[in-house]
Amino acid sequence: MKKEYRYRVVIGAAILLIGIALLIFWGIDDLITGTLMIIGIVLLLNGVLRHLRYKNMPERDERSRKIGAFAVAYSWVVTIVFVTVLFGWITLKYGK
């Protein structure tokens, strides 16, 4: 396992255990302990799943960078078009 993934798993497990300990032993607010437990679970799963997916392969290559760049560009275009249509619809429906 890469060092980066190992750190995520260890930190995620530590945050998860801290959240559980705060809930059980000190009775801290459920919102705080729930948030800590969710963060711990996400970090833990992120590290494990990335290790299972990539193992010793590189995470990013030229093809994935190109696909990512296109995805970012098109997501901005779709967002701007959606917001424009939404404001136009609201103006037509509720405008004077």
Q: Domains of the chain: which residue ranges?
A: 1-59, 61-96
Per-residue pLDDT 10s for the chain (96 aa) are 788 889 999 999 999 999 999 999 988 888 999 999 999 999 999 999 988 887 777 667 788 889 888 999 999 999 999 999 999 998 888 876
Please give the single-letter amino acid code of residue 75.
S
CA nearest neighbour of 34 among 22, 47, 43, 46: 22
CA nearest neighbour of 12 among 34, 49, 37: 37
Handedness of CA 53, 55, 59, 64 (dihedral sign): negative
